[in-house]
Structures are given as C-alpha cells and as structure tokens.
Structure 1
C-alpha cells in the first residue's frame, strides 16, 4: 500500500497531457516551470510535494508523488482532476493521499479527490517571505465571499462611520459615541440572538397557523394582551408611590406578576393543546411549563409582597370571616412571615403537582407505545 502525494494544477498550465507521476518526472517538471517563471508559486508546491514524499520514504512508507492537471475553474476542470485521480488509483495500490495546495481555491478540489481515495492531510504552501500578506489576503477573500458575515460586520461599521459625523453636528462627542455604541450593540444582539431569523419567518408561521387552525396562535394573542395589561397595571400602581426606585420596581413586579404569569400560562397552554392534537406528541418540558409558570409567579409575588409589607407600602394579608351553614371561621390577619411561607409553599406544591402530572402522562404514553 502506498500514500499518494499529489499537487493539483487547477489551471492546467504546468502539465497538459495527464498526470505526471514519479520522483524523476516531477523533479524535471520543477526545473521546467522554474526556468520559465522563477517567481511562480507552483514551483514551491512541486518542491513541497517532493519534500513530503521524501519524508514519507525516510519514515519507511511507500510514497507516490504526482501532479494532476485540471483546466480552469469550470466543471471540465473538476472532471479532469477526477479522471486523473481515478487513473492513479487504478495504476497504484493507494492507501491514502496527501494533497498539496497553494490557495483556498485549490482546496475546493479536495472533496473530488477524497471521493476516490482517502485524504489524510492537506498541506497548504505559503511563501515564507510573504506569509503574513498572503495569509491575510486569503482571510479577507474568504471573509468578503461570505454574504452573511459581510452583512453582520460591514453593515454596522459602515452605518456607524456615516452616522458619526452627522451626530457630531447636533451633539457633543460623548452623545455621538454613546448613540453609535448603543445602536451597534442592539444590532449585534439582534443578529446574535437570532431575532432576524425569527422575524423573517414570523409571517409564514402566522399564515401556517391560520390555515392549520392552531390554537397557539389565538393563545399567543391572548397572552400578549394579558402581558400588556400587567405592564399597564404595574405601571399605574408603581407611578403613584414614592420611597425610591427599589420600592417602585418591587411594586411594579407585585402588581404585574399575576398578569404576566397568566399571559405565559395562556401561551404555554396553547402550545400544549397543539402538541396534543398534532402527530408529533408533547415533550415532558412542555407539559410541565404551565405548572412552572404558575409556581414562579406565586414565589415572586410572595417575596415582593414580603418586602413591600416590610416597608409598609402595602397592608398585611387579611382573611375575611367565612360562614357556611353551621361552620363559621373568624377573620384574621396573616403575619408577614406567614404570608411569605404561604406563597412559597403553594408555589412549591404547584411545581410538585406539575412534576407528578408530567411523570404520570409520560409513563402512560410509554406504556401505550410498548408492543403488545
């Protein structure tokens, strides 16, 4: 078994009449190409192929060095390379191949070689005197060829450079730099979090939801309305109190959390119903989501209520008197610690109920799927 050390002449200018095989043939080709153009980078590739083959032989391996011609950048060039590799594989007992290249364009031919013989390594030759320049050139070329990367990096930089002198005309340097940094940060978050992909597919998802009659489409709208109500209710209550920003924020959470939890529960319930009605089934996480939302809402309500009652921003929790026939319960006031413990205990209980329900449903579904 031998290892093929091959240099692919994509342009087909080094050799025209098929592959050049063997140490002496490739060495003679180096002399011919070097005498014709000593500055040609292909001379270095041919010498590198000979160098790799010599190292393999010194290590006790059998090596076959060859040059396979192409014919440009088109399909005919790729087919010529494929025919050349097929010929080498039929004439030699090849175990693997090492491909020598001098550009990123030549590396596009590696899959063609790999489809005929296993490629163990790719050796890119970069001239030492211009290593940094050539490497930078290939990196820039690859960067500019990626449309998505260009849009993510070059667009915000170009917009910032255009907006900076305009902002300096109407504001000072600090305002201009802050505004540009904020816009670039929002743009990067917009791209990094995948908001752009979600927004681009949102009309199609809404259309599919309307045509397929998905319940989640309606529950999402209900959830959005409940969330707006929660923001409005929390804002009104928080705007009418003083005592510092911390208390204002706690009051906003205290009054908006029930509405937010209801909104999240509505959206989660819609997804749960769609999963139950669909063919794909429902995951255990989706089953447990409504219970988790309610449990978190209760715990947050309990802690915010504790801090607000401690600061006398809200009244203690009072349980009114209840009469039901012969049974009557006198009204009483729950202590501040009792209030916190009650909310936390109910939240934990709801969470445990969700875990038990999810486990039961998952086990029942697993039993139904077992073969009889």
Structure 2
C-alpha cells in the first residue's frame, strides 16, 4: 500500500505557469515541474509547496515506506468547477495507484478548503501547510483578514459599529470638544459591545414570538409582566421626584441617591412581586406541582425590599431627611430600631417563604409517591 504525498493547487497556478496538465505523478516529473514553475515565476509560493512535497516523499522513503508524490490542480475558472476538477484527478490517482493514505501539502488557506475533498476519498494522515518564511507575518495577516471579511456575522458585529463611529466622530468634533466627542464615541462602541455580548439582539428578536405564544396560550404572566413594568416606571418616577424636592442639596450625590432608593423600592418590589405571582399562577395552571424556587420567589422579593428600604430609611433618618418612624401612633422608633425592625421582618418573611415552599414540595413529593404506589398496585 502506498502513501500519496499530494500537492494541491486549487487556483491552477502551477498548470498556467508550467503549461502542463495535471495530475503530475512521480519523483522525476514533479522535480522537473519545480524547475519549470520556478523559471516562470521565482516568487511564486507554489515552488516551495512542490519542494516540500518532494522533501516529505524523501523522508517517507528513508523510513522504508512506499511513498509517491503527485500534483493536482483545479482546471476551471469557477470555484465549483475547480473543486470538481480536483476530485476527478484524485479519482484517477486512486484508480491507477494502490493508495492507502495521503499527506496533503498546501501553501494557502484557499488550498486548504480542498482537504475535505481529499478526505472523502482517502485517509488523510497529515496536512502540511507551507508558508514562505520571509512573508510569514504578512501572509498570515492576509489570510486572517480574508477569513474575517468573509464572515458575514463578524462584519456586521465589528465593521458596522466602527463605521458608524467613524462617521459620527467628525460631527461630534464639530459640535463639542474633543473630550466630549471621544467620550460619546467610546460610550457608543461600549453600548454596541454590550448589546452583542449580552445577546440582547437575540432576546429582542425572539421576544415577539414569545409574547405571541404566551398570549395564544393564555398565560397570566403576560398581564402581570405588563403590570410589573408599569409599577416599575411609577417607582422610578416617584424616586426621581423625591430627589428633586427642595429639601435636598443638588450638589451632593449620596442623599439624593438614598431618597431615590427609599421612594422607589416599594414600587419596584411590588412590580417584582406581581411578575413572580404571574409566573407562579402559570405554574399552577400548567402543571399539578410548583417548583420550590417559584414558590419562594415572592417571599424573597418582599424580604429584599424591606431590608433595602430599612437601610435607606436608617441612613436618611441619620441625615435628618426623614422623621422618626411611629408605630400605632404612640411608639417612636430610633434610627437603629427602625433598621432592626425592617431587617428582622425581612428575615421572618424569608423564613416563612422557605417553610411554605418546603411544605408544599414535601406534600407534592408524597402525592407523587402515593400515585406511583397506586399505579403499581393496580398493575
């Protein structure tokens, strides 16, 4: 059985410059072909590819292996025609020679696309890519850029934002200072990278279909999500209004931020509670059991909202922005007592949620075991 050392030329540079038709088989024939191609174009990398094929053949023969060298090339102007021409020449070599495996020698990324064609007919033991040493960096960069430009997704992800940014940069420089223009451009590119990196485009493209399916299936969560979005907007709006009250100092950042959190957290927590309740109702309607995470989520939302509001109220009361909390119209709480009450209430609610979810899951597990026992006994 013979190992075929195959030099592949997809663009038919060897055939055009030597004037010979492929396949060319045999040590002497390929050695003569090297001279013809080298005299026609000494700078062609095909010369190095042919020499590498001869070198690999000599090494295999030195190791007492039966090796034969051959050259095949595409003889058509079209890409499909060239690949089919290479396939026909390879079929001729397989038919005329008792070939067991092949070592493919190539000199470009374009020729490497023919490796699957060879693999469909022979077992490929190795692929030897020849790069001219003096032009290694240039050629590697060229093929990387060529593959990059051929990828439509990479072009739309990288080149389009860069192009938009470069078009906006002169307009920003005309209207604003260079620092503001560069900051705006960096913010734009950062937003694009986050948009693609977080797969927001995929989420937005799938959102209409998910909403349509949810509406057709009658899921309660669609309505509760809409209500939650409205409550979140109300909470953010009220928080912004609280920041702009006359009693706050606009030059300070901490107090307005705490006021925003204090006034918006109840509405945001109510929005999250509404969304989680809708999800819980969907689980109850769609299946007989409810997962522990969905059962525990509303209690966790309430507990987190209480703790965050308690911390914000404690800090604001220490700064004199809030009056002391009064319980039942009689009991005045200090800032530390307010904080302790909110944290303690949050922990209790969280523990109640854990207990309820565990109880429900245990009952569900018992029902499953009983149903399984009943089914086995009926059999």
Q: TM-score range by the shorter chain?
A: 0.7 to 0.9
Correspondence for 1:135: 140
Point out where structure 2 has 5 or more consecutive residues left out of the alignment. none
Secondary structure of the structure 2 residue equivalent to 1:93: strand
| 1:301 paired to 2:306 | no
Distance 2:367 2:87 in 1: 54
Correspondence for 2:114: 109
Pair 171,311 (structure 1): closer, same or farther in 2 beyond 3 Å: closer
| 1:42 paired to 2:46 | yes
| 1:267 paired to 2:275 | yes
Query: What is the deviation of 1:144?
Result: 1.8
Query: What is the deviation of 1:296?
Result: 2.3
Pair 92,347 (structure 1): closer, same or farther in 2 beyond 3 Å: farther
Distance 1:355 1:110 in 2: 60
Pair 342,146 (structure 1): closer, same or farther in 2 beyond 3 Å: same
| 1:173 paired to 2:182 | no
Give TM-score scaled by structure 1 length: 0.79
| 1:6 paired to 2:6 | yes
Query: What is the deviation of 1:314?
Result: 1.8
Distance 2:356 2:58 in 1: 69
Distance 2:234 2:340 in 1: 28
Distance 1:24 1:291 in 2: 84
Query: What is the deviation of 1:211?
Result: 2.7
Correspondence for 2:243: 238
Equivalences for 1:247-286 in 2 at 5 Å?
Answer: 247-275=255-283, 277-278=285-286
Pair 366,48 (structure 1): closer, same or farther in 2 beyond 3 Å: farther
CA root-mean-square deviation: 3.7
Point out where structure 1 has 5 or more consecutive residues left out of the alignment. 322-330
Correspondence for 2:341: 342
Correspondence for 2:34: 30
Query: What is the deviation of 1:99?
Result: 3.1
Distance 2:106 2:285 in 1: 56
Of residues 92, 99, 103, the one that matches 2:99 is 92
Query: What is the deviation of 1:77?
Result: 3.8
Pair 210,130 (structure 1): closer, same or farther in 2 beyond 3 Å: same
User: Higher mean Cα deviation, 66-75 or 149-158?
Assistant: 66-75
Give TM-score scaled by structure 2 length: 0.78
Distance 2:62 2:335 in 1: 84
Pair 128,257 (structure 1): closer, same or farther in 2 beyond 3 Å: same
Pair 352,93 (structure 1): closer, same or farther in 2 beyond 3 Å: farther
